[in-house]
Amino acid sequence: MTAFTQLITDDRDALVEALREGQGKGSVLRDVDLSGCDLQGVDLSEARLSRANLRGANLEGANLRGAFLDSANLRNTNLSAACMEFAVLGAADLSDADCSKADLRRSNMVGIDAQRAVFRDAQLYYSRPGNGDFREADFTGADIQRAIFRRANLAGANLSNTTGTANLDRANLEGVTR
Amino acid sequence: MIFTHFLTASNESNAFLVACETTRKALLVDAGAFEPAIAEFVDEHGLTLETVFITHGHYDHTDGLDGLVARYRPRIVARQTPCAGHTADVVGHGDTVSVGNLKGTVLATPGHTPDMVCLHFDGMVFTGDALFAGSVGGTSGATAEQQQLDAIRKHIFTLPLETEIHTGHGPSSTVSIEKQFNPFFVE
């Protein structure tokens, strides 16, 4: 990015249109409410979206590389095939989110709530899901090489057909399917 | 502030560029490798790379210095001199490192190495290999580990909660996330 850009957020429709037109990269949108919006394929790389409400939004294929989504509401959000490499998702709520085929390499998932979230065929190489809540999450076919699940709760999660070796130090693996 | 991140090929270490929008003067945090993307960014944005801040002397944070010095002749700022064979301006805890109109403050966080220093600007802190997202730097023993944890609690976790943490490897984070959830600090 060159410099952070504060987008005007009073008019939600205008904001969505601006994001679709490519003005989202490096933007500052903390606390914004974009719940339920169709943001398929938008470029929000390096954006500051801390505490944003994106519940139920469609971010399929979106570029969120390096974006800050800490403490964001991403419940039931469609993040399939989204690029979230280096994204900061710490303390966010991703419960029931669809992250299938998402690029989560080197992402920060420390302390996230990802209960029942779907990570099928996702890339989690060198990600940091420590202390996260992944109960009943689906990691089928995901690449978890070098992911650090230290103290994460994986009770009931599906880890079948995952590739790579993850750090599961002190993780709760009760009822995990491998 | 102008800010960007580079992933280097040197042990997957990170480098970060901070620049003053007014003066176009830039500072690079760590130099694991002199990646072409660094020069491209500097040229594209009309910046003068005048300072390289080294968080600690490990190769994956310094191997790019030769190339950077040859091209830009920057001032090198580190905890010790020489730094990877280059003369450095030595800084310690509480010292100020300026880049244009931006002022950073040096924070000493020894443990991973005795010379480990962080650099804090308003809204963001660069923690090298002291503090990572959900982890901390490796140390040589229990004494160094405790020293590192104490320094992080004292100098990093006392920064405003929204302060962005940009680390030497892996993803960035915030003070809030690490204080609440880093498994090395919370049970």
CB-side neighbour CA atoms (13 Å) of A138: 13
Is 80 exceeded by the pLDDT of residue A6?
no
A129-150 residue pLDDT tens: 999 999 999 999 999 999 999 9
Which of B177, B180, B184, B185 is best to mutate for the A interface (most A CBs within 10 A)? B177
Which of A30, A106, A168 is best to mutate for the B interface (most B CBs within 10 A)? A106
Q: Is the pTM of this model over 0.90?
A: yes
Please give the Cα distance from B62 to B12 (Å, whole number): 13
Q: Are B139 and B111 in contact (CB under 8 A)?
A: yes
B27-63 residue pLDDT tens: 999 999 999 999 999 999 999 999 999 999 999 999 9
CB contact under 8 A, A90 and B133: yes
A58-79 residue pLDDT tens: 999 999 999 999 999 999 999 9
* Average pLDDT across chain A, whole number: 95
Residue A11: predicted pLDDT: 85
Second CATH level (architecture) for the domain B2-181: 4-Layer Sandwich (3.60)
Residue A123 in tokens? 């890339």
State which amino acid sits at residue A122.
A
A77-91 residue pLDDT tens: 999 999 999 999 999
Residue B108: predicted pLDDT: 98
Residue B128: predicted pLDDT: 98
A160 phi, psi to nearest 5 deg: -70, 145
Helices B65-72 and B36-44: crossing angle in degrees, nearest 10, is 30
Please give the Cα distance from A169 to A11 (Å, whole number): 46
Please give the Cα distance from A29 to A47 (Å, whole number): 7
Other beta carbons less than 10 A from residue B19's beta carbon: 28
Is 90 exceeded by the pLDDT of residue A8?
no
Which of B8, B132, B173 is best to mutate for the A interface (most A CBs within 10 A)? B173
Residue A137 in tokens? 């999450």
CB contact under 8 A, A148 and B174: no
Q: Which residues pair with A78 in a beta bridge?
A: A58, A98
**Which residue of A lies nearest to B162 if distances are taken between CA atoms?**
A50
- Give residue ranges of B with CB < 8 Å to any A CB: 1-5, 7, 12, 21, 45, 132-135, 162, 164, 170-174, 176-178, 180-183, 186
| B180 contact residues in A (CB cutoff 8 A) | 91, 111
Residue A10: predicted pLDDT: 72
Q: Give CA separation, A106 vs A67, B44, B63, in Å.
A: 12, 27, 22
- Residues 58-87 of chain A whose Cβ lies under 8 A from any Cβ of chain B: 66, 68, 70-71, 86-87
Report the gap between the CA of B86 and the closest CA in chain A (Å). Answer: 30
Q: CA torsion B80→B127→A166→A175, rounded to 10°? A: 140
Is 90 exceeded by the pLDDT of residue A7?
no
Q: Which residues pair with A43 in a beta bridge?
A: A63
Q: Which residues pair with A104 in a beta bridge?
A: none
Spans in chain B with pLDDT lower than 50: none
CB contact under 8 A, A88 and B172: yes
Q: What is the mean pLDDT of residues A100-119?
A: 98
Name the maximum alpha-carbon separation found in chain B.
48
Chain centroid offset of residue A59 CA: 10
Q: Which residue has the higher pLDDT, B175 or A7?
A: B175
Is 80 exceeded by the pLDDT of residue A20?
yes
Other beta carbons less than 10 A from residue A59's beta carbon: 28
- The 10 Å CB-count burial string (b at 16+, else e) for B117-151 is bbbbbeebbbbbbbbbbbbbbebeeeebbebbbeb
Residue B45: predicted pLDDT: 97
Please give the Cα distance from A12 to A32 (Å, whole number): 9
State which amino acid sits at residue B107.
L
- Determine contact: A47 vs chain B, CB below 8 A: no
Domain boundaries, chain A: 1-178
Q: Which residues pair with B88 in a beta bridge?
A: none
Please give the Cα distance from B144 to A176 (Å, whole number): 36
- The answer to whether domain A1-178 has CATH 2.120.10.30 is no
